[in-house]
Amino acid sequence: MQIKRLRLSGFKSFVDPADLRIEPGLTGVVGPNGCGKSNLLEALRWTMGENSAKSMRGAGMEDVIFAGTATRPPRDFAEVSLLAEVNGDETEIVRRIERGAGSAYRIDGKDVRAKDVSLLFADAATGAHSPALVSQGRISAVIAAKPTDRRAMLEEAAGIAGLHVRRRDAEQKLRATEANLLRLDEVIADQEARAAALRRQARQAEKYRLLSTQIRVAEARMIFARWREAAAAAD
């Protein structure tokens, strides 16, 4: 994956739409402290699916929206789009957040889940927590990281983090399928019990029909016999 452009609007200090084009080779961003250099890296990680407000240096995720200044009113939303080349094709990933409405993702104009975005980057051996994205304090965090955290970093760098995500997703689907099969077995058992009861009722109904027919025949014969007796007595 090659990132070609980062477009920001309303994200932190980038109140007006701004484009950062990343040409082949080495691209450097320089400027004084507080000009927004770190915000560019955070915008990149945020678009890749970062959901920790703390890692975005905020108390809540809505803190990435431009909060306003003495001369500029606050914005109601923030949006970052990332244009990347994936397997020779250009793909645009967009994340947008609105106050009180939460975040939404799009890939090439289609609404997607956060998981879909994470898998896209994980399959490309990158992502919001890629060791290639070195933010402020990242080096010291890597040094102090636990073995499990370092292993996760190595797996992401090796491009196999996406496999773990897909494995967990497959395991969740398998558990859901097993639960559905268990419920289906219960439904089948219940239906079989009802079918057995209906068969018993059907046998009883057939027996009742036969007995009713026999009773009607017997009553008809009895009435005929009495009629004959009455006719004979009259003669």
Residue 17 has pLDDT above 80, yes or no: yes
Span 37-63, pLDDT tens digits: 888 989 999 999 888 888 788 888 999
In a domain, 140, yes or no: yes
Q: Domain count of the chain?
A: 1
Describe the strand order of the beta sheet including 77-86 as a list of residue ranges.
Answer: 18-21, 2-9, 77-86, 89-98, 102-107, 110-112
Q: How confident is the model at residue 210 (pLDDT cuts 50, 70, 90)?
A: very high
Question: In the predicted model, what is the mean pLDDT of residues 92-111?
Answer: 93
| CATH for 77 | 3.40.50.300
In a domain, 224, yes or no: no
Q: Do 110 and 129 meet the contact criterion of CB atoms below 8 Å apart?
A: no
In a domain, 187, yes or no: no
In a domain, 71, yes or no: yes
Q: How confident is the model at residue 127 (pLDDT cuts 50, 70, 90)?
A: confident
User: For 46-84, b where at least 16 C-beta lie within 10 A, e where not — what string?
Assistant: bbbbbeeeeebebeebbebbbeeeeeeeebeebbbbbbb
- pTM for the whole structure: 0.61
Residue 216 host element (H or E): helix 161-234
Span 150-195, pLDDT tens digits: 777 677 666 666 677 778 888 989 999 999 999 999 999 999 999 9
Q: Provide the pLDDT for residue 110.
A: 94
Residue 6 has pLDDT above 90, yes or no: yes
In a domain, 20, yes or no: yes
Task: Give the other-Cβ count within 10 Å of 10's Cβ.
Answer: 21
In angstroms, the CA 39 to CA 80 distance is: 11
Question: In the predicted model, what is the mean pLDDT of residues 75-85?
Answer: 94
Share of the chain above pLDDT 70, in %: 91
Write out the residue range of the structural domain in which residue 132 sits.
2-159
In a domain, 196, yes or no: no
In a domain, 170, yes or no: no
In a domain, 211, yes or no: no
